[in-house]
Structure 1
Amino acid sequence: MGSRELYLGLWVRMTVAVLLSVCGLLVLLAAEFVLAAGVSFFALVLAPLLGGLLLFGAGFLLVFFGLQWLIAVRRGAVEWSDLRVSPNDEASGDQCSTDEGISTDELPSAQKIKRTTAILVGTGVGVLLTHSVILGAFEVSPVLFAVGSGAVIVVGFTGWLVYDELSSTSSIRTDLESEYDIVSDPEREHDVQRRVRRLARQADSPAPAVEVGASTLPKAASVGYRPSNSVILVSRGLVDSLDSDELDAVLAHELAHLLNRDAAVLTALSFPRAKIAQIADLLFEPSASSDADVIIFPLLIVSTPVYIVNRLVVPTVTRYREYVADYVAGELIGSHSAMASALATLDQEYAVHYRRDLRMQWSSTAFGIVPPPWEERKVLDGAIRFFYRRLLGTHPPTESRIERLRLCEE
């Protein structure tokens, strides 16, 4: 396959993925806006009722707490002076007690009563004042307020998520460094860095940093959105199991991912799915209230089809960009057969390591060069393999990649 057909296939997949991702994102933003605007509208309209309920609740609690203390004093269980027991005294175990064995820690102190009622009164007054200012002083209609609030909430949530996604590179790098067990290995690191610099000069690109891990499993990964502030991680097993040409091919493959901005492209395409994941976290977070669940759950239902489509579409681009990285690597080192040989060696090494240690973790599959060996199932193995490798897999079959590289040599 020539470069023209290869890049044509990539751009066709990219176009479809971008259109579906943008449509999915627009659906999410519209759903979030409707939800946020609706909640804002009803919060403003019902503000007098809510503020009144909060003030009524504060008065009710004052009466309730007062009756508790009055009854306790009439029974001789406590004295009025015990009302002034501070929370610090309670925490240190200095509670006042009587012969009947009743202590002041069974009754709310003055500080607790004031704090609780102050929160309710302050919130209630704040709600009423906000309602008066918006509708009275500024004469803003509830609909306009809802539209503005919905827009601010959606933009704020989306901006926070974009920032979180952009800053997640450091956490990914930390996780990979931990898995690779990064060590000080000056000899291997110098050799790999020299190779990377030579390849970067050939590609007219800044050279990324290099780190070497103690893992005996042959693997490599690149982390970062641009070569200038990225890192290529390699394991000792990779350096020791490949010959010179194969090692250059693997390093060129990782450099190709950085040159093609694959991490940035795939992060952008996966943004709708990341947004939905954040919404799901809000829904299923243990500390989330049931009222919040009622509000967020409809949004999650609307988001489910978007999640499914995005989850199926993005891997098609991911897999095809592996073909492109293979091709670019072959062009950089001037030998597609070396890249094919490296893939075959890694695939064989993975199989050997998998048979030797069934407990091996493959958590960084998406950052590897070849996928881990497939674990055979006794039931529905073909269907499960098709689903996880062909539909959701981040890498195409190694045999297919080798075949494409061999065709490039012809």
Structure 2
Amino acid sequence: MNTIRTAMLLAFMTALFMAVGYLIGGGNGMVIAFLIAAAMNLFSYWNADKMVLRMNNAVEVDERNAPEYYAIVRELARRAGLPMPRVYLIDNPQPNAFATGRNPQNAAVAATTGLLERLSHEEVAGVMAHELAHVQNRDTLTMTITATLAGAISMLGNFAFFLGGGGNRENNNPLGMIGVLVAIIVAPFAAMLVQMAISRTREYSADRRGAEICGQPLWLASALDKIARNVERIHNPEAERNPAMAPLFIINPLSGERMDNLFSTHPDTENRIAALQKMASQGMGGSGGMSTSEVNIRSGAPRDIAPRNEGGPWGAKPSEPDAGPWGNNPARPKGPWS
């Protein structure tokens, strides 16, 4: 159903684009606007992962410097039948995560240090399963197509503003002025709403598929609850400076926009949790779900980062300083943010 809804929304946006072009009456301008917007978004499609990771100061990790985190992603990728993605960590106290990359062969997943500090192994597994579901569903491609059409519609609006619908007058089109008004005011707004609706639809699909990958819907439900509560009180400066990145994250990292309405980039968290709880009650987590012991055994190794308290979710505080890249052991190399 979510796939059908996404296809219908994309079809509507395409029809909206063609209708605006017709109303303006500038067929050549419509083609030029679409080509420019397509070129801009094609560049973003091939380079978006690098740009997003760079904007968030993400650092790539592996099984040597983040053994637990890396092992969780590796096991989930195996269960999903996906190539092993590149794994990144972001030095940010706000718990959050996102996936990027143009296809499963060039994918990357990123989590914040706040996510690893505040969530249990099982909850982290639920979150990363959600992100791998985005990779498997090729949501990056879907959102790129959506951005292309939305950008083209907005560009047509700009053309209409500067040209004043002159092309229509030349063609004696009585709808010329209406076309200009639609292009300037209505169409970009409608495109934005459709873009947000598609983003929210993909989140529900990723929740469901992520629960199937790890086989434990309640792990993700618990993680969403913790992340949402922490996001409300922990500021994310990088996301605030680049609000266009907000739809990438599992929970909206920006202040405000908490409601499940036409203007939010994410579904209401309580609605998502309810859907996952219903899924669990119906035994739809998937066969051979991961167990708590499996997650901890497979991820067993020195902790990736030190918890903020003595009894953090990644185990009791060790007697020696943490050996991960964010520890403060003077005998070891300093971490990337030291």
**More deviation in 182-191 or 172-181?**
182-191
The TM-score with structure 1 as length reference comes to 0.57
Q: Compared with structure 1, are the counterparts of its residues 300 and 196 closer, same or farther at alpha carbon in structure 2 (3 Å cutoff)? A: farther
2:258/2:264 contact within 8 Å kept: no
Q: Quick one: distance in 1 between partners of 2:101 and 2:221? A: 25
1:276/1:307 contact within 8 Å kept: yes
Match of 1:269 in 2: 146
From 257, 261, 270, give the equivalent of 1:399.
Answer: 270
From 179, 182, 198, give the equivalent of 2:58.
Answer: 182
Structure 2 unaligned segments of length 5 or more: list them.
Answer: 168-175, 282-338
Q: Quick one: distance in 1 between partners of 2:187 and 2:82? A: 37
Number of residue pairs aligned between Structure 1 and Structure 2: 268
> Equivalences for 1:11-410 in 2 at 5 Å?
11-31=3-23, 34-36=25-27, 150=28, 154-169=30-45, 172-183=48-59, 187-280=64-157, 295=166, 300-303=180-183, 304-354=185-235, 361=240, 363=243, 364-372=245-253, 375=256, 389-410=260-281
Q: Quick one: distance in 2 between partners of 1:318 and 1:327? A: 15
The TM-score with structure 2 as length reference comes to 0.68
1:212/1:233 contact within 8 Å kept: yes
SS of residue matched to 2:232: helix
Q: Quick one: distance in 2 between partners of 1:13 and 1:184? A: 35
Return the structure number with greater helix share.
1
Alpha-carbon distance, 1:301 to partner? 2.7
2:258/2:268 contact within 8 Å kept: no
Kindly name which structure, 1 or 2, has the bigger radius of gyration based on alpha carbons: 1
Alpha-carbon distance, 1:17 to partner? 1.1
Structure 1 unaligned segments of length 5 or more: list them.
Answer: 1-7, 37-149, 285-289, 376-383
Alpha-carbon distance, 1:393 to partner? 0.9
SS of residue matched to 2:261: helix
2:89/2:113 contact within 8 Å kept: yes
1:279/1:300 contact within 8 Å kept: no
Could you report, residue by residue, the CA deviation over 1:125-155 in whole angstroms, capped at 9, with x for unpaired residues?
xxxxxxxxxxxxxxxxxxxxxxxxx3xx654
Identity value in percent: 24
Alpha-carbon distance, 1:305 to partner? 2.7
Task: Name the amino acid aligned to 1:350.
Answer: V
Alpha-carbon distance, 1:164 to partner? 1.9
2:60/2:87 contact within 8 Å kept: no
Task: Name the amino acid aligned to 1:159.
Answer: L
Q: Quick one: distance in 1 between partners of 2:96 and 2:65? A: 14
SS of residue matched to 1:309: helix
Could you report, residue by residue, the CA deviation over 1:358-405 in whole angstroms, capped at 9, with x for unpaired residues?
998373321111124764xxxxxxxx976xx51121111111111111
CA RMSD in angstroms, aligned pairs only: 3.2
Could you report, residue by residue, the CA deviation over 1:62-121 in whole angstroms, capped at 9, with x for unpaired residues?
xxxxxxxxxxxxxxxxxxxxxxxxxxxxxxxxxxxxxxxxxxxxxxxxxxxxxxxxxxxx
SS of residue matched to 2:40: helix
Q: Compared with structure 1, are the counterparts of its residues 263 and 244 closer, same or farther at alpha carbon in structure 2 (3 Å cutoff)? A: same
Q: Quick one: distance in 1 between partners of 2:38 and 2:66? A: 34
Alpha-carbon distance, 1:247 to partner? 0.9
Alpha-carbon distance, 1:189 to partner? 4.2
Could you report, residue by residue, the CA deviation over 1:167-189 in whole angstroms, capped at 9, with x for unpaired residues?
21355434432442224655554
